Amino acid sequence: MSFNIVDYPSLLEEIRKRPQMWHNGETRSALLLKTFISGFQYSQHFHKVESGNLLGGFNWGNFEKWVEVKFNSKRKSYDSFTLAIYLSDSEAEAFDLWFSWYDLYKSETVED
């Protein structure tokens, strides 16, 4: 199996297709998705990856602001992953909800 992960969108698509591979055998989980993405971002910072080599292609800050405006009517101090968990009845439902926001965001915005 080969992967062509060149940016966050391609990484997220691989995770969406095969979440159990990226989440140590677990099925869809918004918490594990959050943990994986956070760990990935931290590791790039920890290892001082040069800015030109950072995984890019997705503006997380803009996405978080967009989710807050569109879906966080109670203005909870949650990031998008935590909000999806809060609004869902299960981890799998939260995973699917988060990706529905991601898809809607991509269809409504143009990234730099």
Residue extents of the structural domains in the chain: 8-108
CA distances for 54 relative to 22, 43, 49, 77, 81, angstroms: 20, 10, 6, 27, 22
pLDDT value of residue 76? 87
Prediction pTM value: 0.86
Per-residue confidence band for 67, with pLDDT thresholds at 50, 70 and 90: very high
Does residue 52 register a pLDDT over 90? Answer: no
